[in-house]
Amino acid sequence: MTPTWVRLAELAASVLFILALKGLSSPKTARRGNLLGATGATVATVVAFFYGEKFYGGPIQHLPLIIIATAIGSVIGWIAAKRVQMTQMPQMVALFNGVGGGAAAVVSTIEFLSAGDPAQTRAALAATVFTVMVGSVSFTGSILTFMKLQELMTSRPVVIPAGRYITSLMGLLTVGSAVVLVTWLDSAGNASSTFLFILLGLSLVMGLLLVLPVGGADVPIVISLLNAFTGLSVAASGYVLGNVLLIVAGTLVGASGTLLTRMMAQAMGRPLTNTLFGAFKAKAATSAGPTEERPIKSASPEDVAIMLAYARKVIIVPGYGLAVAQAQNTIRELVELLQAKGIVVDYAIHPVAGRMPGHMNVLLAEANVPYEQLKEMDEINPEFAETDVALVVGANDVVNPAARNDPSAPIYGMPILNVDQAHQVVFLKRSMRPGFAGIENEVLFDPRTSLLFGDAKDSLTKVVSAVKSL
């Protein structure tokens, strides 16, 4: 039996995790909430070092190795988290999530392999199988998500031929082997470890198959979903080990993660199933049209400066391109210049601007943009019609009217910022390349639209000096 002080410490850690999630739900308490969570995790880990003794009827073995491994992992995690650029943070979260899922799968595999517990109940067996399956899916799925966001591979949906059938077949095989594993015991009453490894392999492939057809702007929702998956697999591993803390922590993450995933999908204006399987339904969207020949209007930095300086109301629409170019400070400088001229300037923040919901708020906060100037989509959309200039910096999909007008577009149904209603639109873009979702944007060809090509930071710097010299 676990000693009472250990169980009390675990109770304390559980409470800290609940307070952490609660704190993270409000801007004022978010940072403290995160620290509470870290405290809970530290308590739980330190207790675990001492804890095996009575629990498993023998002192915890390999303690030096365990402490070294913990230290190695902590240092790697710390350095990775400190070094990562804020723009690359979504894929970092995906990666952290993946290794967590992998760890849960490994933990249950070891528990399964250790011949010490022949009397595994069916329920524990089922929990083992669940952890291995879901943890592995989360592991490979997250790694693939990381690769998509890091642009180690295409971020477009990848639909392999007959993908729908292959995925369904693999899904059936995976579930089938899971069922066999739980129900079919050999004469000694042990489950087949061969099937466990088959299940492991199938689940790893399943993770890839699930994420491959998800594209572009939908990737963040998948990260959130996989995060919930990992939570549930951690909870199941807690059941396998009879550890209450793991059950509580894993379930909290699983439940809140599921809810969060739904909220994110709602912000994108489409049901979750559409996010996951939409690519199978979409026609091979050909953006091949005679795009190069269509007329566009390009502008010089001076033209843009004049448009801005003689406007009464300007709305800035920042996107991922702004962040990539590290132009957050430059845009703030431009906005301050314009405000000094008495021009009303606001930032319009699309819920999924950047690569994740709330990502753009983080990036602009980093550049000390006052919180009050950031307007959410529902608040600012009615204002575009009376706006002189909408300045779109490195955003594309979130202002693409195809989401409103073109039912065949992959982003159809996503709420967008109505820049096409502004009197004039200025796009700062690197090239005519379509956005993350890979769809042509009609606004670019509108006669009221001007394009300023180049790196967002260079372009903005030029516009700033042009405004100054007016």
Residues 161-220 close enough to bind other proteins by CB under 8 A:
none
Q: Interface with other proteins includes 323 (CB under 8 A)?
A: no
Given 149, 222, 223, 452, the residue binding other proteins (CB under 8 A): 223
Given 252, 337, 439, 444, the residue binding other proteins (CB under 8 A): 252
Q: 366: exposed, middle or buried (C-beta count within 10 Å: 0-12, 13-18, 19+)? A: middle
Buried b (16+ CB within 10 A) or exposed e, 291-313: eeeeebeebebebbbebbbebeb
Nearer to other proteins, 235 or 467 (CB): 235
Q: Interface with other proteins includes 35 (CB under 8 A)?
A: yes
- Sign for the CA dihedral angle at 154, 157, 161, 166 comes to positive
Nearer to other proteins, 76 or 169 (CB): 76
Q: Interface with other proteins includes 242 (CB under 8 A)?
A: yes
Which residues are catalytically annotated?
Answer: 397
Distances in Å between the Cα of 39 and the Cα atoms of 19, 43, 114, 243 are 11, 6, 32, 19
Question: Which residues, 6 or more positions from 419, have their beta carbon under 8 angstroms from its beta carbon?
Answer: 315, 317, 384, 390, 392, 399, 425, 443
1: how many CB neighbours lie within 10 A of its CB?
Answer: 7
Nearer to other proteins, 204 or 425 (CB): 204
47: how many CB neighbours lie within 10 A of its CB?
Answer: 19
Stretch that binds other proteins, among 28-36, 286-294, 396-404, 426-434 (CB under 8 A): 28-36
Q: Interface with other proteins includes 12 (CB under 8 A)?
A: no
Q: Interface with other proteins includes 368 (CB under 8 A)?
A: yes
Length of the chain: 470
Nearer to other proteins, 209 or 364 (CB): 364
What values do phi and psi take at 423, rounded to 5? -65, -40
Minimum CB–partner distance for residue 79 and other proteins (Å): 9
Nearer to other proteins, 62 or 312 (CB): 62
Helix (H) or strand (E) holding 426: strand 424-429
Given 170, 173, 255, 344, the residue binding other proteins (CB under 8 A): 255
Minimum CB–partner distance for residue 71 and other proteins (Å): 8
Stretch that binds other proteins, among 148-156, 205-213, 262-270, 400-408 (CB under 8 A): 262-270
Q: Interface with other proteins includes 230 (CB under 8 A)?
A: yes
Query: Maximum distance among all alpha carbons in the chain?
Result: 88
Q: What CA–CA distance (Å, rounded) separates 468 from 428?
A: 19
Q: Interface with other proteins includes 449 (CB under 8 A)?
A: no
Buried b (16+ CB within 10 A) or exposed e, 75-85: eeeeeeeeeee
Stretch that binds other proteins, among 14-22, 209-217, 316-324, 429-437 (CB under 8 A): 14-22
Q: Interface with other proteins includes 263 (CB under 8 A)?
A: yes
Stretch that binds other proteins, among 16-24, 156-164, 167-175, 431-439 (CB under 8 A): 16-24
Q: What CA–CA distance (Å, rounded) separates 113 from 467?
A: 69
Question: Which residues, 6 or more positions from 412, have their beta carbon under 8 angstroms from its beta carbon?
Answer: 402, 403, 406
Closest-CA residue to 464 (of 321, 339, 305, 345): 305
# of chain residues touching other proteins (CB under 8 A): 120
Q: Interface with other proteins includes 439 (CB under 8 A)?
A: no
* Half-sphere exposure of residue 185: CA atoms within 13 angstroms, side-chain side: 13
Given 155, 177, 203, 227, the residue binding other proteins (CB under 8 A): 227
Which of positions 64-103 make contact with other proteins (CB under 8 A)?
65-66, 69-74, 76-78, 80-82, 84, 86, 89-90, 92-93, 96-97, 99-100, 102-103
Which of positions 46-65 make contact with other proteins (CB under 8 A)?
47-49, 51-52, 55-56, 58, 60-63, 65
Nearer to other proteins, 236 or 426 (CB): 236
Q: What CA–CA distance (Å, rounded) separates 274 from 171?
A: 18
Minimum CB–partner distance for residue 451 and other proteins (Å): 28
